[in-house]
Amino acid sequence: MAARLGEILLRHEALGQDQLDGALVHQSNSGGRLGEVLIAQGVLSYLALYRALAEQQSLPFVNLLTDPPDEFLLKEDMIEHYLRLQILPWRRAAGGRLLVALCNDSAALREWAFAQYGDVDFLMTSPLDIRRAVETRFTGELEAHSRNYLWQKLPFASARATFMPSQVALINVFIIGLAAAMMLAPQLSLLVLFGACHIIYALTMVFKAIIFMVGAGFAKIVKDWSRELAMLDDASLPIYTVLVPMYREPESLAGMLKAMQAMEYPIEKLDIKLVLEADDEQTIATAIALKPSYQFEIIRVPPGKPRTKPRACNYALHFARGEFVTVFDADDRPEPLQLKKAVYAFRTLPANVACLQARLNYYNAQDNLLTRFFALEYHALFNVLLPGLQYLGIPLPLGGTSNHIALSRIRELGEWDPYNVTEDADLGVRLSAQGFRTAMIDSYTMEESPNTLVAWLRQRSRWIKGYMQTWLVHMRAPAKLYRTLGLRGFLGFQFFVGLSTFAFLTAPLLWAAVLMWGMGFNWFEDFAYPDWLLWLTGFNLVFNILTNWIFSLYSAGAYPYNPLGMRIAALLYPLYLLLHSLASYKALWQLIFRPHFWEKTMHGRARSFVAPPIG
């Protein structure tokens, strides 16, 4: 079949003999189809290939871009079949016989068409034609699905409603009860409130210290992957879908395309979607001007609310062809072997491991003190804390990029929540609640850190708001969550997702109250802290500083470049925590008044570029 296709293409002068020979050699190594190899190499267009395939299979060819299908023949409940099977009814012939357009004339596909439509005649078209025909006819339906699928399938799992009525009632009861207690017994109420906050704060820090110790001692996956990857035959590798959502980031496109082209994976098996908002004309124009090759496909997301990254990714999932899917941001620079490592991990890890998370860090860590703080934090999180959570069986709140999952699994779970502004953290908890596990993978992705305080606050407040949303969503049925996660997983979720944010919110109030009391500014006559609360306050302050020094100094040791600058940042790290409290209050305000607003992180401002840290 490949030989006949090559003969047809040569006869049509669509390519030269040298190009055909090179494609056949590549095909023999990768196991891909000849036509896909030729397109991936930039030798052929879709139109030229599928005209030749139509001749090879003795079928008429139809260009759906110039001769679109009869819209009345297309049915909404068949969208998934049109896209998955790459087949759709085109028009009726003069005698009333249905003409069906397809991309691959196989016996199985003909059987499906006969069962669906009865006696039909077939024509050949291209996958691009099928996609655009479906998008043109069902734009509104596809956009609505990207917003509403999870909410309609599992309404309790969606952050579309920030607070459930029962949660609002509990909050009101707490506020009224606290106000009444303050009126009836103000001194006792303050002591109980301060004491509870300090106890929660202490437990949160102790929990993180335990996770850090476990993660630091966790056996790392082998560093030398040569033997493992040698076991992967390119012919056995599946199609891999990569989603790259972007919005108003034309300056990031060239670097991102270069990073994707550096991926060590058979090019015809890469299904890379540049997921762009339809009204982002500048980024779309830049993408078209750069002329990305076949494995890059531009997906234009129609306007809709909320305008969030997960909504855009959900829209692009309609057109995904891969067995596995991952998400990279516009500024990401993933390790070239990451996709192969993910395939190997999925094939060798237990079947209940449904998701993989790569390590993240920043390539512009040396821009200034703020970016060094952020890099130290990320190293501790992705190299130590998340492996610790994995080892203890506690849900992993995924990072916003470089998490890998089977396409069938993400669809089964209801896709990403378009109303949650940390959709991947939510997905990590949702996976655990369904009995699946997430594992860290020994691969890295370098990102661009915000290098100004304003940019950092925008990004961090969005993350904290998303953690608040995630906690509120999964605590709508706490008894059920406890049964699915178990005691360890349930407590880990409370401390790592819920109470860590609570600690940032209460810390300034606690330290301010202690400072005022120590300086003699008492709110009530003869009010005094009991000794146990003073000791607990001192413990919290000292333990907080010491543990964060240990976390940051440990991480600073992983940076071979500018070790002095990283160690100075580590010693000043407790000051960085004050910024988290500021971001937390901004997040709380937005949770109440703008819960689904996505604060955009601007890229292309980096002033330095360094390699990933070691270890």
pLDDT in tens, 393-407: 999 999 989 999 999
Q: Is residue 214 over pLDDT 90? A: yes
Kindly report each contact of residues 495-498 with a partner whose C-beta sits within 8 Å and lies 24 or more positions away, as own/partner. 495/203, 495/204, 495/207, 495/208, 496/207, 496/208, 496/211, 496/389, 496/394, 496/397, 497/395, 497/397, 497/425, 497/429, 497/467, 497/470, 497/471, 498/467, 498/471
Distance CA 570, CA 556 (A): 7
What's residue 520's pLDDT? 65
Single-letter residue type at 260: M
**pLDDT for residue 292 is more than 60:** yes
Residue of 337, 332, 335, 327 whose CA lies nearest to 264: 337
d(CA 459, CA 274): 22
Q: Are 590 and 597 in contact (CB under 8 A)?
A: yes
Give the chain's mean pLDDT. 92
Region of poorest pLDDT, from 111-115, 229-233, 268-272? 229-233
Cβ 470 vs Cβ 397: under 8 Å: yes
Count of Cβ atoms closer than 10 Å to residue 607 Cβ: 10
What tens digit of pLDDT does each residue of 88-126 get? Answer: 999 999 888 999 999 998 999 999 999 999 999 999 999
Q: Using alpha carbons, list the distances in angstroms from residue 473 to 339, 411, 431, 483, 498.
A: 32, 19, 14, 16, 11
Task: Provide the pLDDT confidence category of residue 219 given band limits of 50, 70 and 90.
Answer: low
Q: What count of Cα atoms within 13 Å lies in the side-chain half-sphere of residue 413?
A: 25
User: CA separation (Å) from 242 to 254, 306, 479, 552?
Assistant: 16, 22, 37, 33
Give mean pLDDT, residues 284-297. Answer: 86
Whether 9 shows a pLDDT value over 60: the answer reads: yes
pLDDT value of residue 76: 96
Q: What's residue 32's pLDDT? A: 83
Using left for φ > 0, alpha for ψ between -120 and 50, and beta otherwise, residue 526 falls in left
Euclidean distance between CA atoms 253 and 427, whole angstroms: 27
Query: Average pLDDT for residues 513-540, to the nearest whole number?
Result: 70
Question: Predicted confidence band at 30 (pLDDT cuts at 50, 70, 90)?
Answer: confident
Helix, strand or coil for residue 270? Answer: strand
Per-residue pLDDT at 221 exceeds 60: no
Q: What is the mean pLDDT of residues 21-35?
A: 88
Q: Is the pLDDT of residue 601 over 90?
A: no
Q: Nearest Cα to 318, choosing from 330, 331, 302, 329? A: 302
Per-residue confidence (pLDDT) for residue 462, from 0 to 100: 96
Q: Which of 587, 586, 585, 310 is nearest to 465 (CA)?
A: 587
For tokens 């020094």, the residue is 549
For 314-357, what is each residue's pLDDT tens digit? 999 999 999 999 999 999 999 999 999 999 999 999 999 999 99
- Comparing 103-117, 191-205, 310-324, 475-489, which segment has the lowest mean pLDDT? 191-205
From the list 99, 67, 88, 79, the residue with the least C-alpha distance to 130 is 88
Distance of CA 234 to the CA centre of its chain: 26
**Torsion 183-186-188-190 (CA) sign:** positive
Residues 341 and 442: beta-carbon distance below 8 Å: yes
Say if residue 222's pLDDT is above 60.
Answer: no
Mean pLDDT to the nearest integer, 25-34: 87
**How far is 615 from 601, CA to CA, in rounded Å?**
28
Q: Which residues contact 324 (CB under 8 A, 6 or more apart)?
A: 238, 240, 241, 342, 343, 346, 404, 405, 406, 407
Domains of the chain in start order, with CATH, are 2-133 (no CATH), 158-615 (3.90.550.10)
pLDDT value, residue 588: 96
For residues 403-412, average pLDDT: 97
Q: Please say if the pLDDT value at position 309 is more than 80.
A: yes
Strands 324-327 and 240-246: parallel
Structure confidence by residue, pLDDT tens digits, 353-385: 999 999 999 999 999 999 999 999 999 999 999
What is the model's pLDDT at position 203? 92
